[in-house]
Amino acid sequence: MLRFPHDFKIRRRLRVEVVISERKIQMPGFDELGDFKSATQRYIYLRGFEEIFDPPIWSTSPGSQALYLAKSGEDPMFLLQFMPPFCRTSRHFHLKTRAETYHLLLGMGILEVDGKSHKLLPGDSFKVEPKQVHQYFSLSSPTLTLLEIAGNPGCLQKQDHFYPS
C-alpha cells in the first residue's frame, strides 16, 4: 500500500491524502508457462479532496493528454492528474503561479524543466518555479501525480498558462 504524504505532520498541512492499494486477482485461462493468468487491480482512496470529477476532466491545454481526477483547495490547490502510458502534457510556463510541485504517486515519468530532463519515480517530488518552461511525459506505465499549485487559484481555467513557440 502506498500512502501520500507518508508523514502525518505533512498530511495535516496539505489537508489531502491519497492511498493506493493493490490486489492480485486470478484471470480465466493459463499463461505460456501453464500457470493461472493473473492481473493487478489498483484501488485509489482519496481523503480531503473537495471535488472528485466524475467523469474525469481532460486537460484543455493544447496537446495535453492529461486527465484530472480530483481537486482540493485554492491556494495551495491540489490537483490529482492521471496520464495514460506514453502521453504528455503541454509544454508551458506560468507567470503568476508561485510554484508547482509534482508529487509522483504511481508509475514512472519524465519532467522536462527548461530543457533538462528529470526522471520521477513513485515518492519523488519536483518543484517548478515561475517562468520555467516545463512538460511532463508518462513512460510505459500509467502515472498518477498530485500537483501542488501555489498562487494560482484559477489554474483549471488556464489563465496563467503560456506556451513558448
DSSP 64-132: ---EEEEEE-SSSEEEEEEE-TT-B---BB-SS-SEEEEEEEES-EEEEETTEEEEE-TT-EEEE-TT-
Q: Give me the domains of the chain, ranges plus CATH numbers.
A: 48-157 (2.60.120.10)
Mean pLDDT (whole number) for 75-91: 90
Instruction: Give 1's pLDDT tier (boundaries 50, 70, 90).
Output: very low
Instruction: Give 29's pLDDT tier (boundaries 50, 70, 90).
Output: confident
- Which grid cell is 10? 505533512
Instruction: Measure Cα distances from 142 to 42, 90, 97, 163 in Å.
Output: 12, 17, 27, 25
Mean pLDDT (whole number) for 11-34: 72
Residue identified by cell 506505465 is 141
Between 4 and 58, where is the model more confident? 58
Q: What is the pLDDT of residue 134?
A: 96
The dihedral sign for the CA sequence 12, 119, 108, 134: positive
Average pLDDT, the chain: 83
CA distance 120 to 43: 21
Q: Looking at the predicted structure, is the pLDDT value of residue 107 above 60?
A: yes
Q: Looking at the predicted structure, is the pLDDT value of residue 60 above 50?
A: yes
Q: Looking at the predicted structure, is the pLDDT value of residue 159 above 50?
A: yes
Give this prediction's pTM.
0.78
Q: Residue 153: is the preceding peptide bond cis (ω within 30°)? A: no
- Which grid cell is 90? 503541454
